[in-house]
């Protein structure tokens, strides 16, 4: 999924690559861990961005212990980011996840 290196400008030629270019990338990560209160995992974008993108990620499940956790992107660069999952109520103690889906989207800043 290519990302355009430049914005449209007067005089640019229309090509198949430019018409098919997208300014975003998205995906799903299946996360598993054992007895944790927080979890990180470095991720690489399928295609590098020309500048660091704006990102969002969400836990796409409400089953079991996932309801007490939140997910967010940290350390976002042009080539990748780090998924950070943390328990929102530490008094609850550590939990275990098995193949829980995390949806993510990264897009070019406007």
Q: Band of the pLDDT at 23, cuts 50, 70, 90?
A: confident
Does 96 reside within a domain?
Answer: yes
Q: Please give the pLDDT value at position 5.
A: 52
Does 81 reside within a domain?
Answer: yes
Does 102 reside within a domain?
Answer: yes
Task: State the CATH number of the domain containing residue 101.
Answer: 2.60.40.2080
**Contact between residue 104 and residue 35 where contact means Cβ atoms under 8 Å apart:** no
Does 6 reside within a domain?
Answer: no
Residue 2 in this model has a pLDDT that exceeds 60: no
Any idea what the Cα angle at residue 94 is, between residues 80 and 32, rounded to 5°?
45
Residue 10 in this model has a pLDDT that exceeds 80: no
Q: Please give the pLDDT value at position 1.
A: 44
C-alpha distances in angstroms, 12 versus 7, 15, 21, 48? 10, 9, 14, 22
Does 2 reside within a domain?
Answer: no
Does 7 reside within a domain?
Answer: no
Does 12 reside within a domain?
Answer: no
Give the whole-number percent of the chain exceeding pLDDT 70.
Answer: 88
Q: How many domains does the chain have?
A: 1
Predicted TM-score (pTM) of the model is 0.80
Q: Which element (helix H / strand E) includes 110?
A: none
- Quick one: average pLDDT of 88-105? 89
């Amino acid at each position: 999924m290519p990302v355009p290196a430049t914005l449209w400008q007067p005089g640019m030629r229309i090509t198949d690559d430019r018409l098919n270019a997208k300014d975003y990338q998205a995906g799903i990560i299946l996360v598993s861990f054992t007895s944790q209160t927080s979890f990180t995992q470095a991720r690489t974008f399928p295609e590098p961005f020309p500048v660091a993108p704006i990102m969002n990620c969400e836990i796409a499940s409400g089953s079991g212990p996932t309801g007490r956790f939140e997910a967010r992107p940290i350390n976002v660069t042009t080539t990748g980011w780090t998924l950070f999952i943390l328990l929102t109520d530490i008094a609850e103690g550590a939990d275990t996840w098995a193949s829980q889906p995390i949806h993510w989207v990264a897009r070019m800043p406007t």
